Copies of this chain bind each other. A is one copy, B any other.
Amino acid sequence: MRQVRTLGLLGTGVIGGGWAARALHFGIDVVAADLNPQMEEWIRGAVANAEGALARLTFAPLPRKGTLSFTTDLNAMARQADFIQENIPEQLELKQRVLAAVSAHAPPDVVIASSTSGLLPSDLQRDMHAPERFLVAHPFNPVYLLPLVELVGGKQTSAAALDAASTFMTYIGMHPLRVRREVPGHLTDRLQEAIWREILHMVNEGVATTGELDDAIVYGPGLRWAAMGTNLIYHLAGGDTGMRHMLKQFGPCLKWPWTKLEAPELTESLIDAMVAGTQAQAAGRSIRELERLRDDCLVAIQQVLKEFNIGAGATLRALEERLYETAAASARAQLSVAADAAGSGAGPLPLFETQVRPEWIDYNGHMTDSRYLQVFGDATDAVFRFAGIDDAYRKSGRALYSVEAHLTHRCEVLALEALYVTTRVLEVADKRVRLFHALHRRRDDALVATAEQLYLHVSAPPGKASSMDNDARARLASLQAAHARLPLPPEAGRLAGKLAG
């Protein structure tokens, strides 16, 4: 089969547009063919729209983008393409007719694949020229971001066609899943369709709304399914004996009316197949080890969703807002104590502690540089919140912007290590604050890194330097006074910025 430099698209709807965007992004030229000439504008718009997200999928250096051309002549497309992907409506006779016609114009070493959601490849290839180069390659919406593609051969499909499709799909960043036997709906849509039909029953019977049923997944099992499927998850839930225990414990539920779908008989051979399958998935990893992986993923996914204030991330964000509010109130109560200690040589503020997240670790096994600055930023936030510069303050259009920073690194920290930051307020002026943070390891109090940071007080719009709130300034000044008797850290004093009121 050919090396693919040009992808031909037969049909240009949402799925065709997704294929085009993905292929172009990874350097493949695309010839899109549709009988309707208006689809040219449509597919160019779809590609441009997808590019926003695609550009952020990876920061790795990409080959030069492919070029997109459009034709209403399906046969001309077939003569130019090294690989043809069909995406026309889900009607068996229509697909059969078009595939038969187009295949007459495509050389026999050109693979032809169908994006069909559920039709069988043996039926689709029936009338084709060189039917052995045909297979189903079923992608998922949005095709330009989801890696899954199901590859299904029909009765006449050659191993070479499946291999070539697998190579090409991997090249454009996809995960080819070889389906061993053709069945209506392949694998994924059978599972999705089971959920979908159960949803329709529940809405039909007035048990729940579509929103409640979505919440039932999004806040719970959906978080797991991004990282592990039902089978591996149930293997973990089974404890030390995994899937076998799980089937013993929950086997009886298969007879209960928990869904409108009747289960197969739980025979010994089915149990054996389930156990053997999940053992292979575990690949020698212990339940405890897999639990840790699951938990790490669940924590990291919720952190990411928090940025978008969606689903479990919205729950986490609301929780954190409450926790920060509570802490800020108690920090302000402590402030007078700190101010009272001004004359007595009080030490730096130990306001912030954290732990090295596994996803912060770089290829050397150490915490990535940028995460140091993230930790120092969180410590700065804690100091500002302590001074009363919180969400409400920022909502009034005022904030402290970072202007300059100087970092030093003393020793390395490993995953899960507990850390704390002590902070000194070095200088406070009307429009500026200079802080000095020292990051320590909890286990031995070793100095890990330092940061000297200069912040400018800004009001928006138009984002010009402005005077700080008097109360906040007074609170910071009382800390600065409390810290003024301590010797200046040797790492401090490297900034160029001058403090000016």
Contact = CB atoms under 8 A, between A and B. Distances in A.
B261 A198 contact: yes
B147 A416 contact: no
Interface in A189-208: 189-204, 206-208
Interface string A284-314: 0000100111111111111111011011100
A208 B187 contact: yes
A402 B369 CA distance: 7
Contact of A370 (B231, B293, B297, B373): B373
A144 to B, nearest CB: 8
A58 interface: yes
Nearest to A359: B307
Nearest to A303: B304
Contacts of A239: 14
B227 A225 contact: no
Interface string A302-339: 11110110111001100110011011000000000000
A122 interface: no
Contacts of A355: 55-56
Contact of A377 (B262, B308, B370): B370
Contact of A401 (B57, B62, B147, B364): B364
With a 10 A CB-CB cut-off, give which of A175, A357, A372 has the most chain B CB atoms.
Answer: A175
A209 B277 contact: yes
B406 A58 contact: no
A226 B405 CA distance: 37
A368 B380 CA distance: 13
Contacts of A373: 369-370, 372-373
B296 A53 contact: yes
A37 interface: no
Nearest to A53: B295
A288 B50 CA distance: 11
Contacts of A228: 214, 218, 310-311
Interface in A150-203: 150, 173-175, 177, 179-181, 183-185, 187-203
Contacts of A257: 184-185
Contact of A207 (B175, B187, B213): B187
A467 to B, nearest CB: 18
Contact of A263 (B117, B197, B210): B197
Nearest to A173: B319
Interface in A449-464: 460, 463
B175 A315 contact: yes
Contacts of A196: 230, 234
Q: Label chain A's interface by main secondary structure.
A: helix
B194 A208 contact: no
Nearest to A399: B364
B150 A216 contact: yes
Copies in the complex: 2
Interface stretch (A103-111, A124-132, A472-480, A489-497): A489-497
A412 B206 CA distance: 51
A300 B195 CA distance: 25
Contacts of A500: none
Given A118-B258, A203-B277, A369-B377, A61 B216 contact: no
Contact of A323 (B62, B141, B208, B412): B62
Given A237-B141, A260-B262, A319-B173, A222 B213 contact: no
Interface string A64-80: 00000000000000000
A155 B66 CA distance: 63
Contacts of A61: 323-324, 326-327
A254 interface: yes
A325 to B, nearest CB: 10
Question: A-B pairs with the 3 shortest C-beta distances?
Answer: A214-B229, A210-B277, A148-B220
Given A58-B323, A150-B216, 12 more contacts: A53-B295, A57-B299, A175-B312, A177-B216, A210-B277, A210-B280, A211-B231, A211-B277, A216-B229, A297-B304, A364-B460, A369-B377
